[in-house]
Structure formats: structure tokens, C-alpha cells
């Protein structure tokens, strides 16, 4: 009987998952609206670097209030581009936190497409645009970044954050492509999934990363704080 109990305990112990501790939670905030956002123009790291519009600043203030209500954010990390730094600064002032800049979180360099609408880019560079839509290794016209290149630097920035902030909640203020890429990598989804996600200005998403290497998508494109 004792041997049976010991054997049962041994099996239960082997089957029980290890205590992974608290995950690193990356709260992913897309920057507030800029003058180019309503026009749906390519606005990456190779263009004019616009700041927030009046609407974008109001959005940043609303998300700051929402995050203050959560009370869980302990660090703020931002893309170096003006729209993100301004958004992060508004949130940081409300939360009493400094903002650290991480270059790997910047938006894609869209090359010659910077400032164009999708339709304008298709009209001027149809072959390049179709190639870019069809392959993660294709670059925008004029030496922009491929999705594969963006994914590589975003993953490196993610790994730095996970190593530096074990068990903590970090606000990451970034852009459409880096945030979608973090979500895609967390889900193990193919590159074409980037085109199947909606990500609005000043929206919140969240991914939790565990010590065993697994990740869990907790939130995507939440805009409830803007209503």
C-alpha cells in the first residue's frame, strides 16, 4: 500500500507543471493619431517623423488615465520616433515613470512609399508592392525594410525586455508593424497574418511571456478607453 502511494505521488509530481512564476507582461500601445493617420499613408522610420495631432494627444491622455487605473505598469519603453515619444511622455507623466528609448521598436522603413497612400504606392510601384505583399523577404521600393528584417530586430528588442524585466509589466509604445509582429511571433503565426490584424491608433494589446518560453496573447486592439 505504501509503495502504491509513493508511486502515485511520483507520477503526480512528474505530471505537475513546474512553477513558472509571474510572466513578463508587455502591454503594447500603438501611438496616438498623427496628421497622416486618418489619410492612411505609409508613415515609417524613413519619412518625415510627424508628431501627434490634437486628436492624438487627447487619445494619449485617455490611455494614460486607463493605465493609471490598472496600476500594474512599472516600466515604459518607446520607439525613438516622435509620435511614440510624445505618447509615452504623456503616459509617463501620468504614471510618474521615466521613458526609455529602444531603437528596435521603431516602425518599418517604407522606402520610396513613405507619405504615399496604399493606392498611390500601387499605382507608382505595382511590381514592388505585389512582391512585398507576397513575401516577407521583399523590400519596399528604394531600399526600405522587409517584414523579415523588421521581425529580426523586433524579436531582439523583445528578448532584451524579457531579460531586463522578469515578472514585471512593461508598457511598450510602438507602431503597427512592430506590435503586430510581437503578436504574430507570440502566436507562432505566419508572416501573412500581419495583414489580418486590425490595430487602431492608441489601442492596447498585451502579451504575457513565461519562463518556459511560451507566450499568451491576453488582449488585442482594445479601444475601450477611447469611448
Answer left, alpha or beta for residue 213, where phi above 0 means left and psi between -120 and 50 means alpha. Answer: left
Nearest C-alpha neighbor of 45 from the set 97, 107, 2, 3: 107
Which is catalytic among the residues 31, 86, 102, 114?
A: 31
Spatial distance between the Cα atoms of 5 and 20, rounded to a whole number of angstroms? 27
Find where cell 513578463 sits: 24
DSSP element (H, E) containing 131: helix 126-134
Annotation says 31 is catalytic: yes
Spatial distance between the Cα atoms of 38 and 57, rounded to a whole number of angstroms? 15
Spatial distance between the Cα atoms of 108 and 202, rounded to a whole number of angstroms? 18
Find where cell 507582461 sits: 25
Which is catalytic among the residues 33, 86, 102, 107?
A: 107
17's CB contacts (< 8 A; 6+ apart) are none
Pairing mode of beta strands 73-78, 99-101: parallel
Annotation says 225 is catalytic: no
Enumerate the active-site residues: 31, 107
Amino acid at each position: 500500500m505504501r509503495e502504491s502511494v509513493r508511486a502515485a505521488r511520483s507520477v503526480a509530481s512528474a505530471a505537475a507543471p513546474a512553477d513558472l512564476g509571474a510572466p513578463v507582461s508587455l502591454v503594447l500601445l500603438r501611438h496616438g493619431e498623427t496628421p497622416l493617420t486618418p489619410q492612411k499613408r505609409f508613415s515609417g522610420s524613413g519619412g518625415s517623423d510627424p508628431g501627434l495631432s490634437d486628436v492624438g494627444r487627447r487619445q494619449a491622455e485617455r490611455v494614460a488615465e486607463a493605465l493609471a487605473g490598472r496600476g500594474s505598469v512599472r516600466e515604459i519603453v518607446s520607439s525613438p520616433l516622435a509620435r511614440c515619444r510624445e505618447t509615452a511622455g504623456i503616459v509617463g507623466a501620468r504614471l510618474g515613470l521615466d521613458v526609455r528609448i529602444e531603437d528596435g521598436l521603431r516602425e518599418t522603413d517604407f522606402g520610396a512609399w513613405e507619405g504615399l497612400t496604399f493606392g498611390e504606392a500601387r499605382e507608382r510601384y505595382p511590381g514592388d508592392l505585389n512582391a512585398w505583399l507576397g513575401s516577407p523577404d521583399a523590400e519596399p521600393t528604394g531600399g526600405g525594410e522587409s517584414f523579415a528584417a523588421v521581425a529580426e530586430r523586433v524579436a531582439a528588442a523583445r528578448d532584451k525586455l524579457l531579460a531586463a524585466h522578469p515578472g514585471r509589466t512593461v508598457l511598450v509604445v510602438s507602431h503597427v508593424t512592430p506590435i503586430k509582429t510581437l503578436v504574430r511571433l507570440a502566436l507562432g503565426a505566419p508572416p501573412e497574418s500581419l495583414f489580418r490584424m486590425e490595430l487602431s491608433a492608441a489601442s492596447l494589446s498585451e502579451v504575457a511571456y513565461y519562463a518556459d518560453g511560451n507566450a499568451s496573447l491576453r488582449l488585442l486592439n482594445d479601444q475601450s478607453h477611447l469611448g
